[in-house]
Amino acid sequence: MTNIISIKDVFYKYPGASKYAVNGVSLDLQENEWISIVGKNGSGKTTLTRLIDGLEECESGTIEVDGQVMNEDTIWDARRKIGIVFQNPDHQFVGATVEDDVAFGLENQGMPRDKMVVAVDDALKMVDMQDYKKRDPQSLSGGQKQRVAIAGVLAIKPQIIIMDESTSMLDPDGRKTVINLIKELRSQQKLTVISITHDIEETQLSDRIIVLNSGKVVKDTTPADLYNLGPQLTEYGLEEPFTNLVAAGLKDVTSFNGYLSEKGLIDELCKLNSNM
Amino acid sequence: MDKLIIGRYLPGESLIYRLDPRLKFLITFYFIGIVFLANNVASYAFLLVFVLFAVYVSKVNLSFFIKGLRPMFWLILFTVALQAFFTPSSHPIWHWAFLTLSKEGLVIAAYIFMRFVLIIFISTLLTLTTTPIEISDSIESILKPLKVVKFPVTQVALMLSIALRFVPLLIDETTKIMDAQRARGVDFGEGGLIKRIKSFVPILIPLFVSSFSIAYDLAIAMESRGYKDGEGRSKYRVLKWSRRDNLTILFMVVITIILLLLRSYK
């Protein structure tokens, strides 16, 4: 596996702040990996992704995106490879209609119009929103808006998608569609997904979880390992997953060996049932 | 807000909708110009027939246009009354102190009234049949020659289309803020003028603050999507000039000629 992003000793302080928002972070993120970044509010998650996209400039340390060190000249190359879906769908729409918005990133690249029409259609098809092409974004639901935002990001064919709490303002249904969509897209294309989230279900899907606390990486591990920690999770601003709670409730009857996914839990319970 | 017709768009399919928006935009201004050429009953009647014909072709219900007149009602009445009572004449029909009512005055008042109706109808027709974004595209394309004098046409056009795109969002935001303030006991539209103005402070401040935060979020989102400075961008939306646009120009030339003939006919 090749590294798509490597971060070395990055420090960043917001102007006027006394503490470092990102305090000496070093990370290697691999191609096609799904990475969740978790942590309490103000732990530096969003700042870290902004640094990766060059929206903020780091004070010291280097960030490499796809083998290129980020600096003034390479920023725009990096941004072509990275797509960010932000938290509030209302605040990231540029276009007056759905298709205009999806085309915005392509217009910035100077793509000729006939190619753009095809690319916009393809991107809208991927998120299953082609019927809403001519609609005004204000008339869509939250989940639909977020899907259009994802289409706008997909249209530029990025290698990395950053989801900056993109599902936090959606209802459970909208959240599920967006997560499933990302899951599907990652299996089809060689996408790297970096997702900042407080949503347990989302972290369970990832290959790797990075826990940040006051700008430092305090844990970098798989979901299974992290969720084995049990009640200690609350220290990192996470809840225990549903399966942990079920396992805890059943501890008088039986004890499972460590963290289980939902499917794993069902299998275990079936096994128990057949043993009886 | 629902009562305001001017500036609203009504979705439709008729011929007027399919005309190039640049042409519609220019024709509207051109028409407002030639309205002032009309100088007798025949020419005004002719322009009225033309406007009613345009309304008929647009297939938009006439009642929308009459509603469009409503916000201007007092202005029209005031101007018409001034013209009617203050036109000096040697054969007044009625005279009292400084007010004079004469046949000439009444005729001029009627002309002024017609001008208002014609101008309001034609501009309502433009906004009812053209989406705001088409209007901003037309403005961009009409302003394009100004690039020669270093006027930032593309940036202004983007600014316009973002502004238009945020109008409904900010209206939503305003209603939300008003409801929230009402829930905490602010009374809008009650009391004297000063009190009413004061009660708008708790709307305006949060609205400005949230507009700034929306602008900040949007700027970050635009930058992350590769927006640099408007140069080297391609355009997804294109305006297409077609044969019917040429025919419309021809039609307008004919209208102008007829108008000029009627004008000199006494």
A155-175 pLDDT tens trace? 999 999 999 988 888 888 888
Residues B64, B52: contact at Cβ < 8 Å?
no
User: B206: domain range?
Assistant: 151-225
* Structure confidence by residue, pLDDT tens digits, B33-52: 999 998 888 999 999 999 99
B54 & B111 share domain:
yes
Higher pLDDT, B66 or A259: B66
CB contact under 8 A, A104 and B222: yes
A103 at B interface, C-beta within 8 A: yes
By mean pLDDT, which of A21-25, B42-46, B87-91, B253-257 is the weakest? Answer: B87-91
Q: Can you list the positions of beta strands (E) in B97-154?
A: 99-102
B210 & B246 share domain:
no
**Residue B62 lies inside a defined structural domain of this protein:** yes
Number of domains in chain B: 2
Per-residue pLDDT at A193 exceeds 90? yes
Chain B hits for A169, CB-CB cut-off 8 Å, are none
Residues B1, B171: contact at Cβ < 8 Å?
yes
Chain A hits for B133, CB-CB cut-off 8 Å, are 96-97, 100
CB contact under 8 A, B236 and A103: yes
Q: Which CATH superfamily is domain A32-50+76-240 in?
A: P-loop containing nucleotide triphosphate hydrolases (3.40.50.300)
Q: What is the pTM of this model?
A: 0.80
Strand partners for B95: B100
Mean pLDDT to the nearest integer, B55-62: 89
Residue in A with minimal Cα distance to B229: A108
**Residue B123 lies inside a defined structural domain of this protein:** yes
Q: Residue A15: its pLDDT value, please?
A: 86
Distance CA A227, CA B93 (A): 96
CB contact under 8 A, B132 and A96: yes
A39: alpha, beta or left, given left = phi > 0 and alpha = psi -120 to 50? left
Chain B hits for A55, CB-CB cut-off 8 Å, are 220, 223-224
Q: Residue B6: its pLDDT value, please?
A: 59
Distance CA A62, CA A70 (A): 7
B31 & B67 share domain:
yes
* Structure confidence by residue, pLDDT tens digits, A41-88: 888 898 999 999 988 888 889 999 988 888 888 888 889 999 999 988
Chain B interface with A: residues with Cβ < 8 Å: 131-133, 161-162, 164-165, 168-169, 172, 213-214, 217-218, 220-228, 232-238
Per-residue pLDDT at B1 exceeds 50? no
Residue in A with minimal Cα distance to B164: A96
A11 at B interface, C-beta within 8 A: no
One-letter amino acid at A73 equals D
B174 & B116 share domain:
no
B109: alpha, beta or left, given left = phi > 0 and alpha = psi -120 to 50? alpha
In chain B, what percentage of residues exceed pLDDT 70? 97
Residues of chain A with CATH 3.40.50.300: 32-50+76-240
CB contact under 8 A, A80 and B233: no
Mean pLDDT to the nearest integer, B50-73: 88
ipTM, two decimals, is 0.84
